[in-house]
Structure 1
Amino acid sequence: MFYTYLRGLVMFLLWGANGNAHFHHLENIPSQEENYILVAPHRTWWDPVYMAFATRPKQFIFMAKKELFQNRVFGWWIRMCGAFPIDRANPGAGAIKYPVKMLKNSQRSLIMFPSGSRHSTDVKGGVALIAKMAKVRIMPASYTGPMTLKGLIRGERVDMNFGEPIDISDIKKMNDEGVAEVANRIQTAFDTLDQEVAAMQLKKGPNPWLLLPRLLVFVVAVLVALLTFAVSFVASFVWDPDKHRK
Structure 2
Amino acid sequence: MFYNFAGNVVKIILSIFGRVREYQTENKPESGSYIIACTHTGWVDILWLGVAMLPKQIHYMAKKELFKNAFLKTLMNGLNAFPVDRENPGPSTIKIPRKLLREGKMVGIFPSGTRTDEEVPLKRGAVTIAGYSKAPILPVAYVGPNNFKDLFTRVKPKLIYGEPIYLNEEVKKKEAMEIMMKDLDEALKRLKEEVKSK
Q: TM-score, normalised by structure 1?
A: 0.74
Gaps of 5+ in 2: none
Partner of 2:99: 101
Gap change, CA 1:100 and 1:172, over 3 Å in 2: farther
Equivalent residues of 1:166, 1:185 under 8 A apart: yes
Q: How much has 1:126 moved relative to structure 2?
A: 1.6
Q: Does 1:54 align with 2:60?
A: no
Tell me how far apart the structure 2 counterparts of residues 82 and 136 of structure 1 sit (CA, whole Å).
Answer: 19
Q: How much has 1:19 moved relative to structure 2?
A: 1.4
Partner of 2:74: 76
Equivalent residues of 2:59, 2:80 under 8 A apart: yes
Partner of 1:161: 160
Give the aligned CA root-mean-square deviation in angstroms. 1.7
Partner of 1:8: 8
Secondary structure, aligned partner of 2:191: helix
Tell me how far apart the structure 1 counterparts of residues 171 and 19 of structure 2 sit (CA, whole Å).
Answer: 43
Partner of 2:126: 127
Q: TM-score, normalised by structure 2?
A: 0.91
Tell me how far apart the structure 1 counterparts of residues 13 and 170 of structure 2 sit (CA, whole Å).
Answer: 42
Residues 162-241 of structure 1 mapped to structure 2, 5 A cutoff: 162-170=161-169, 172-175=171-174, 177-200=175-198
Identity of aligned residues (%): 34
Q: How much has 1:162 moved relative to structure 2?
A: 0.8
Q: How much has 1:198 moved relative to structure 2?
A: 2.4
Q: How much has 1:164 moved relative to structure 2?
A: 0.8
* Count, aligned residues: 196
Matched letter for residue 24 of structure 1? Y
Tell me how far apart the structure 2 counterparts of residues 199 and 60 of structure 1 sit (CA, whole Å).
Answer: 27
Equivalent residues of 1:121, 1:187 under 8 A apart: no
Equivalent residues of 1:26, 1:54 under 8 A apart: no
Matched letter for residue 94 of structure 1? S
Q: Does 1:85 align with 2:76?
A: no
Tell me how far apart the structure 2 counterparts of residues 21 and 81 of structure 1 sit (CA, whole Å).
Answer: 20
Tell me how far apart the structure 2 counterparts of residues 107 and 179 of structure 1 sit (CA, whole Å).
Answer: 22
Equivalent residues of 1:41, 1:121 under 8 A apart: no
Equivalent residues of 1:128, 1:174 under 8 A apart: no
Partner of 1:118: 115
Partner of 2:30: 31
